[in-house]
Copies of this chain bind each other. A is one copy, B any other.
Amino acid sequence: MSRWKPDARGRLERAALELYNDKGFEATTVAEIAARAGLTDRTFYRHFADKREVLFLANPLVDILADATATAPSSLAPLGVIAHALTEAAPVFDERADLARQRQAVVAANPELQERELAKLATLAATLAHALRARGLETATAALAAEIGIAAFKVAFENWIDDPDRRSLAEHVRETLDTVGRLTTSVEHPAIPGT
């Protein structure tokens, strides 16, 4: 397990996640977070606008996904591009797996934070869709591939959080996207009412 590093931002983040898990997000104050980190309120506000922003940092994923989508080999099918982008982004989480698990528990316990999380995922889907359109994919197809990518990422992320074997998130992403293929293998369409 990593020990606290001297950086103020990281100490504040760890202190906040511990308190959110111990006392609940609502009951935790900025003063308590700063005190536990051995820092002042003023320092907290230099790094975060409020206690919610500790959970929703300016998102490095947006840039990683956009870049990885833009530079993926042109031979890849749409979901191959998605797989490339998501596996490029996965190490961001593996490098801070304990924090990610703590954060997930806090978000899962609070409906307002869950709505914020869904909005964040929608932003990631829009980022992916935009990057896929820039590769020449038609708008609706790009939107679909992006939404499926984020859907797969959500499921892979949950599997990773709960994985007793602690396999990497990239492995879970790959496994989940493989499953997408199997789900569609024998799709049969029912009669469509009204057509």
Contacts and interface: CB of A to CB of B under 8 A. Distances in A.
Interface in A173-195: 174, 176-181, 183-190, 192-195
Interface residues of A, number: 58
Give the 6 A-B residue pairs with the shortest CB-CB distance, closest first: A147-B151, A77-B186, A118-B118, A181-B184, A84-B190, A170-B192
A37 interface: no
B116 A183 contact: no
9 contacts: A72-B190, A115-B115, A115-B119, A118-B119, A140-B158, A148-B152, A170-B195, A174-B189, A177-B189
A155 B34 CA distance: 44
Chain B CB count within 10 A is highest, among A111, A140, A190, A192, for: A190
